Chains A and B, each alone.
Chain A
Amino acid sequence: MNATLPQTETLEIPKPPKRLLTYFEDGGRTVGSWLLTTDHKRIGILYLYSIVAFFTIGAIAAAIMRLELITPAGDLVTSDTYNKLFTIHGTVMVWFFLIPSIPSVLGNFVVPLMLGARDLAFPRLNLLSWYLFNLGGLLALYAIAIGGVDTGWTFYTPYSSTFTNTHVVTMVAGVFMAGFSSILTGLNFIVTTHKMRAPGLTWFRLPLFLWSNYATSVILVMATPVLAMTLVLLSIERIWGVGVFDPQLGGDPVLFQHLFWFYSHPAVYIMILPGMGVVSELVTCFARKPIFGYHFVAFASMAIALIGFFVWGHHMFTSGASVYSGLVFSITSYLVAVPSAIKVFNWTMTLHRGRIFLNTPMLYALGFIGLFTVGGLTGLFLAALALDVHVTDTYFVVAHFHYIMVGGMVTGFLGGLHYWWPKITGRLYPESLGRLAALIIFIGFNLTFFPQYVMGYLGMVRRYHAYAPEFQIYHVMSSAGASILGVGYLLPLIYLIWSLKHGKKAPANPWNATGLEWQTPSPPPKHNFAQTPIVTRPPYQYSAETEEHMVYG
């Protein structure tokens, strides 16, 4: 009897089509097909349009302020207009640019790809988030158009509830709506990360961007409802005179600050953790080395999310909170520096003896590490109870948080945008222009904000449109830097749009990177993967030998 081999040929294996339609083509190219899409990739791009629009509005407000501040006299705008300008700048940049920037644009696009999933867990909820976000944004713009708000982005009581006659309630309603968009997006990410990981993709095989995105989502879900409630309380007091924050009605104005900062300090981590996640991806890819201390970086994200909830009182050292609470919050604020420092040290150790490629994303990542460190360390100045009394409400604070928000998050966003641009659009951006823009942004940023540390320390108070002449030199430097920064931001806008038509076609994996998002064509097909990928290795298995496969270099 002859043993016959099993006839494998008879099994019919369906072959995938020669070329899968990309997500641009599959589902139609009409405007309607975009506005009603539930594809996470398309929604990510919708968010990109929205935040670029809001960024432009916030940037124009900043430009007028910097123009005003060139001279010590308040000669360009009135003080009332100036108050409205910094309120527009703060509100729009925080809620309509920074908070959705990395999570809603890049996160939306790459999270399911990195997980090996077809989409987010709740695709329609994802689209609803985008509509809520834009509705909130339009309300905020309406408040600006009918006369604006002059409270600053923090809406402090009793000024906002009792005294100002600007359009606080409309603006607050816009922020309230955008808050729900945040909550839904966070919820979506949490469920997706728990439930939709590809086979073999265990928690400790997740790319670090997913860890920081998860930590961010937890903050979004836990903190944003408090903001929503606080803003509702503010509106109730303003409209109906119900005593919550007004001492004459039995309220406490400082209670507003407690509730507001209970959200807004963790929100600072909403605005930086995703940037840290992007940098973790970039540093390991462009140093061609596995990340140093994966578990530490992953847990540092969770630790930041947790400890970030214990520190809000450091915004209230001088606003009437008790000395004892100041002491408590000062100590907890120092604690939160530990996980942040862990990340910086681990990135540095990843660079150590790496084969470093100075591509555009890496330039942004290196810029992030430096600028975040400066911003973080000056944060420790501010967390020191005694020193904070000296620099509260000065440009020192302004410089500090711009180093985190702009030097950190915007830099991280641009790094991530360049890194994933070939995946998102299927086109390569012009590398030399990219490097040039990164350099211009770094120089412009430092020229804008470093002088603010100096003048703040010397006593230049924030939110004033006229100031003592001895500060003029710093203000002129700052305004000059801002115009360089403006050019730096305009450049990517131009060449990225240019690359959509004229850029070279991107291969599936231009950086020869390890993440699952690079295992599918660029741009990806509608359902991301032809077959569900199976993960068998930890992330970031880079080695210096793989470098020759880099497209640029």
Chain B
Amino acid sequence: MTVLNPPIVPRKIYGLIWVVLLLLLLLNWGLAQLNLGPFNLVATLAIAFIQMMLMLLYLMHVRYNTPLTWVFVAAGFIWLVVMINLSLSDYLTRGAVAGRFGKSWIHETSVPPPVYLPKP
């Protein structure tokens, strides 16, 4: 059974993953020295993602495990996405108020001043 007796991962793989992780760290540091505008963020996140996947799949043995384990790992991720996404539904719209009928959500600074009736 794969669960009780997972295949022994050769040390070479561990070493290789470790070197790759360090190289990615170096790359991350290097990219941070360049000004790529918004792509700095994209690059950093992409590198972090790759590092995380390497750790999960090889160091945490997820790759050598049963589909059931994959389901649980995926559930953990989806759950984290839910947490961040729904929290952002608050943070990205703080101070925004509902637009007038037919308009969508607008920031309060762009809300037109109320229209008062002319004084008699």
Q: B-contacting residues of A (Cβ < 8 Å)? A: 194, 222, 226, 254-255, 258, 262, 309-310, 312-313, 316, 321-325, 328-329
A329–B85 Cα gap in the complex (Å)? 12
A-B contact pairs, 22 of them (CB 8 A): A194-B68, A222-B75, A222-B76, A254-B90, A258-B87, A309-B79, A309-B82, A309-B83, A316-B90, A322-B89, A322-B91, A322-B95, A322-B96, A323-B97, A324-B89, A324-B90, A324-B93, A324-B96, A325-B90, A328-B86, A328-B89, A329-B89
A373–B39 Cα gap in the complex (Å)? 52
Q: Which residues of B contact A262 (CB under 8 A)?
A: 83, 87
Q: Which residues of B contact A309 (CB under 8 A)?
A: 79, 82-83
Q: Are B89 and A226 in contact (CB under 8 A)?
A: no
> Provided the pairs A194-B68, A313-B86, A328-B86 are in contact, do residues A322 and B93 lie with their beta carbons within 8 angstroms?
yes
Nearest chain-B residue to A218 (Cβ)? B75
Describe A's contact surface by its main secondary structure. helix
Q: Which residues of B contact A226 (CB under 8 A)?
A: 83
A255–B88 Cα gap in the complex (Å)? 11
Describe B's contact surface by its main secondary structure. helix
Chain B 69-108 near chain A by CB (<8 Å), digits 1 or 0: 0000001100100110011011101111110000001000
Q: Which residues of B contact A255 (CB under 8 A)?
A: 87
A310–B83 Cα gap in the complex (Å)? 8
Given contacts A226-B83, A322-B89, A322-B95, 18 further A-B contacts (CB under 8 A): A194-B68, A222-B75, A222-B79, A258-B90, A262-B87, A309-B82, A310-B82, A310-B86, A312-B86, A313-B90, A321-B90, A321-B94, A322-B90, A322-B96, A323-B97, A324-B93, A328-B86, A329-B86
Nearest chain-B residue to A320 (Cβ)? B94
Min C-beta distance of A157 to chain B, whole Å: 15
Q: Which residues of A contact B96 (CB under 8 A)?
A: 322-324
Nearest chain-B residue to A252 (Cβ)? B91
A300–B68 Cα gap in the complex (Å)? 21
Q: Which residues of A contact B97 (CB under 8 A)?
A: 323
Q: Which residues of A contact B91 (CB under 8 A)?
A: 322
Min C-beta distance of A389 to chain B, whole Å: 15
A194–B68 Cα gap in the complex (Å)? 10
A312–B98 Cα gap in the complex (Å)? 22
A390–B94 Cα gap in the complex (Å)? 21
A514–B62 Cα gap in the complex (Å)? 39
Min C-beta distance of B80 to chain A, whole Å: 10
Min C-beta distance of A227 to chain B, whole Å: 12
Q: Which residues of B contact A325 (CB under 8 A)?
A: 86, 89-90, 93
Most buried by A among B75, B87, B96, B98: B87
Min C-beta distance of B63 to chain A, whole Å: 20
Q: Are A324 and B68 in contact (CB under 8 A)?
A: no
A254–B93 Cα gap in the complex (Å)? 14
Nearest chain-A residue to B95 (Cβ)? A322
Q: Which residues of A contact B79 (CB under 8 A)?
A: 222, 309
Q: Are A323 and B93 in contact (CB under 8 A)?
A: yes
A309–B105 Cα gap in the complex (Å)? 25
Min C-beta distance of A371 to chain B, whole Å: 30
A241–B84 Cα gap in the complex (Å)? 25
Min C-beta distance of A221 to chain B, whole Å: 9
Nearest chain-B residue to A325 (Cβ)? B90
Q: Which residues of A contact B76 (CB under 8 A)?
A: 222
Q: Which residues of A contact B93 (CB under 8 A)?
A: 322-325
A329–B88 Cα gap in the complex (Å)? 12
